[in-house]
């Protein structure tokens, strides 16, 4: 594609346990994926963005840690809150060099992961588990993955050209929440010359990479399902 215009850092894991029972391995697992994954991805793409004269980075944080907190999620809350700080620092550091950095703070979306959790919670009536989650959401429903993807696409587009260092909450749920492991790593790469007929966001690509937490094997619905330029995890980044 020749350029990396938009990068979305969206790898995340969550393991639940009482704080006094958290092992060093469990703690480091969260740090490796949730913090180092984003850190390494940003370090991999920013040099390219500087060379080409700018770009956009979207970091997927969470409402957990920075806004709300639930028992048993100390490591998840700590690492997701850290991403808010990283977003603000990078936004300030690179604003004058035409790189914008924003973060999303997601509560619950109706993904295959959440639907699986609902089945495990109530095998006879999983929809009731979904409804229980949605009770605390003002719209009384979970977000669609495409609605979350639209926010990422907006933050990566010129329509948000005056936003940097922002925290945008989507699908917030008040009260207790339970998260499982989130599988995909998503990086958006926008090509200025590729224009697929019928696409509202031409040239925006999505890829899903299986994480160490045995996450998803196929992309979640977001913007498009097309190849990527680079894959990044907590230990390395691989050009495609």
Choose the catalytic residue: 48, 76, 162, 179: 76
Catalytic residue list contains 179: no
Strand-pairing partners, residue 84, are none
Q: Which residues of 196-234 are buried (b: 16+ CB within 10 A; e: fewer)?
A: eeeeebebbbbbbbebebebbeebbbbbbebebbbbbbb
Record the tokens describing residue 3, joined without a space. 């350029």
Place of tokens 């990068």: 7
Q: Strands 230-232, 237-239: parallel, antiparallel or unpaired by DSSP?
A: antiparallel
| Nearest Cα residue to 183 out of 100, 117, 97, 230 | 117
Catalytic residues: 76
């Amino acid at each position: 594609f020749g350029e990396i215009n938009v990068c979305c850092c969206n790898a995340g894991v969550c393991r639940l346990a009482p704080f006094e029972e958290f092992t060093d391995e469990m703690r480091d697992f969260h740090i490796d994926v949730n913090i180092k994954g984003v850190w390494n991805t940003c370090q991999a793409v920013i040099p390219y963005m500087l060379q080409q004269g700018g770009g956009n980075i979207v970091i997927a944080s969470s409402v957990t840690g920075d806004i709300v907190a639930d028992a048993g999620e100390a490591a998840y809350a700590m690492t997701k809150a850290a991403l808010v700080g990283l977003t603000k620092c990078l936004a300030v550091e690179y604003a004058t060099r035409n790189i914008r950095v924003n973060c999303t703070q997601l509560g619950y979306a109706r993904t295959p992961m959440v639907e699986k959790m609902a089945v495990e919670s109530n095998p006879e009536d999983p929809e009731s588990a979904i409804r229980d989650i949605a009770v605390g959401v003002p719209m009384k429903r979970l977000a669609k993955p495409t609605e979350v993807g639209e926010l990422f696409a907006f933050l990566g587009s010129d329509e948000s050209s005056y936003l940097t260092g922002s925290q945008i909450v989507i699908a917030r749920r008040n009260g207790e929440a339970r998260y499982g492991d989130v599988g995909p790593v998503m990086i958006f790469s926008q090509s200025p010359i590729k224009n697929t007929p019928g696409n509202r966001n031409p040239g925006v690509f999505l890829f899903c990479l299986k994480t160490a937490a045995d996450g998803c094997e196929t992309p979640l619905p977001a913007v498009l399902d097309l190849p990527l330029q680079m894959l990044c995890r907590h230990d390395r980044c691989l050009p495609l």
